[in-house]
Amino acid sequence: MKRSKVSAIALALTAGLSLLAGCDKAEAPMPKLDTVKPSTPEAQQDAASGAATTSQSDERESTLQMARQEIDQIKVKVDGLRAKAKDASAAMKEKLTSEIQSFDQDIKNLETKFSALKNASATAWQDMKASFTASIDKLKSAVEKSGQQASPTGSSY
């Protein structure tokens, strides 16, 4: 009987150790990241240009976002002029209607330029950005001026 107890304990220990050995911290294979810095000047330059590209991409995205907001603000102001034109005298209504039609065409042109700016290559980006900025500034100024003239107090709406 002692022998069977000892055998049972030995068998249990053996089975337990075998199971324990089989559970050797198996981890899913993880990709190794290359943390070694580039050693050649060309590789260092490529790494630096990658950082510059990210910075340019961030600037580009920020500029496009601000441009979209400015176009939307101009549209809101032109809609405000439409509302003022409804309540204006006949002469003012005619003048505002003419200006609004011109602004609508300018907005369409801005939308086209905005699309081109979004799709511009890195080399054409700065020139297109300057052209777009000039166009939007000109239109904003014209809409503001028209709003001030349409306001009975002379202030902007």
3-state secondary structure of 101: helix
pTM over 0.75: no
Structure token digits, residue 124? 């054409």
pLDDT tens, 58-103?
Answer: 889 999 999 999 999 999 999 999 999 898 888 888 999 999 999 9
Residue type, 93: K
47 vs 36, 53, 70, CA distance in Å?
12, 10, 35
C-alpha 102/C-alpha 16 separation (Å) is: 86
Q: 24 or 127: which carries more pLDDT confidence?
A: 127
What are the boundaries of each domain within the chain? 49-150
